[in-house]
Amino acid sequence: MSVRQTGPLRVAVLASGRGSNLQAVIDAIEAKVIQAEIVAVISNKKDALALERARKHGLPHLFVDPKPFAGRPDSREAYDRVLLDVLEQRRVELVLLAGYMKIVTSLLVNAYVNRMMNIHPSLLPSFPGLEVQKKAIDWGCKVTGCTVHFVTEGVDEGPIILQAAVPILDHDTPETLAARILEQEHKIFPRAVQLFAEGRLKVDGRRVLIEDGQPVGQAIISAS
Ligand code: GRF
């Protein structure tokens, strides 16, 4: 992992929707639990609540419209080129995908190796992709959860940083389960950012070791 400059960690958040995970990170920064500043909130959706949350907290935010790129053979790369320019201009050190519903291309992934995190509402590698709370219920799982991982080119495949386990109850619907998982997301996402800001995450192949912390085997935070 590259040696950080001094000063608060410069973070960008990419979000497409509600932005509750963005809010959890904002709250942790404002509470001074994380020594970081959010220097850009970027959305591919004009009306994303995430942008409104950024505005309320006085954070720089922008909507980057994907429409002008549609139809081009390199539409996804061209879009990510715009994002990368913004990230580089703002000297972003860590990128957070917080409900960002667009697959990032190798252009962004390669620029932010082990410096881009995603939050996903299952215990990866089980249930990558979409509608994963429903899939976990339908499969008959008794436990699911959420995962923060570094982003690689494979969707939901990168090295796992933190996970939290969440029970699945008999009466659960995808909505009730999603809400229970979300509570844990709001804990482990800021925690992962904090560990990164403290320079305590070491990537060793697929494993992410937490320096001066709990042994890796205990990196799963229980829901209780
Ligand atoms: C979360 O469940 C996250 O795990 C997934 O998308 C959802 C985003 O929620 N990637 P929010 O926009 O952060 O409220």
- Ligand 1 center from residue 220 Cα (angstroms): 19
**pLDDT above 80 (res 218):** no
What SS3 state is found at 144?
strand
Query: What is the predicted pLDDT for the residue at 215?
Result: 52
The answer on pLDDT for 36 being more than 80 is yes
User: pLDDT tens digits, residue range 102-139?
Assistant: 999 999 999 999 999 999 999 999 999 999 999 999 99
pLDDT of residue 109: 98
Give the pLDDT confidence of 187-217 residue by residue, as tens digits: 999 999 999 999 999 999 999 999 986 554 4
Query: Ligand 1, atom 9: nearest CA belongs to which residue?
Result: 99
Q: Give the nearest ligand 1 atom to 15 CA.
A: 12
Atom of ligand 1 nearest to the CA of 121: 4
- Predicted pLDDT at 212: 81
Q: What gap in Å lies between CA 80 and CA 58, rounded to an integer?
A: 25
What pLDDT score does 213 carry?
66
User: What mean pLDDT do residues 27-52 have?
Assistant: 98
Q: What is the pLDDT of residue 5?
A: 63
For residue 146, the CA-to-ligand 1 centroid distance in Å is: 10
Q: Whose Cα sits closest to atom 14 in ligand 1? A: 20
Instruction: Count Cβ atoms within 10 A of the Cβ of residue 73 and give its class: 0-12 exposed, 13-18 middle, 19 or more buried.
Output: exposed
User: Is the confidence at residue 95, as pLDDT, over 50?
Assistant: yes
* Cα 21 to ligand 1 centre (Å): 6
Q: Please name the residue whose Cα sits nearest to atom 7 of ligand 1.
A: 99
pLDDT for the residue numbered 6 = 78
If you compute the radius of gyration of the chain from its CA atoms, what whole number of angstroms results? Answer: 17
State the helix-helix crossing angle for 174-197 and 132-139, rounded to 10 degrees: 120
Q: pLDDT tier at 34 (50, 70, 90 boundaries)?
A: very high
Q: Which helix (H) or strand (E) holds 163?
A: strand 160-167
Predicted confidence (pLDDT) per residue in 139-186, tens digit: 999 999 999 999 999 999 999 999 999 999 999 999 999 999 999 999
Ligand 1 center to 36 CA (angstroms): 21
Q: Name the closest-CA residue to atom 5, ligand 1.
A: 99
What is the residue with the minimal CA distance to atom 10 of ligand 1? 99
**CA of residue 201 to ligand 1 center, whole Å:** 23
Name the least confident of 1-5, 39-43, 126-130: 1-5
Asked about 120 being catalytic, the answer comes back as: yes
Q: Which atom of ligand 1 is nearest to the CA of 118?
A: 10
Q: How far is CA 156 from the centre of its chain?
A: 11
Asked if 93 and 12 count as a contact pair (C-beta separation under 8 A), the reply is: no
Q: Which of 57, 61, 120, 149 is catalytic?
A: 120
User: What is the mean pLDDT of the segment spanning 75-95?
Assistant: 98
Q: pTM for this structure?
A: 0.94
Residues having CB within 6 Å of any atom of ligand 1: 15, 17-21, 98-99, 119-121, 182, 185
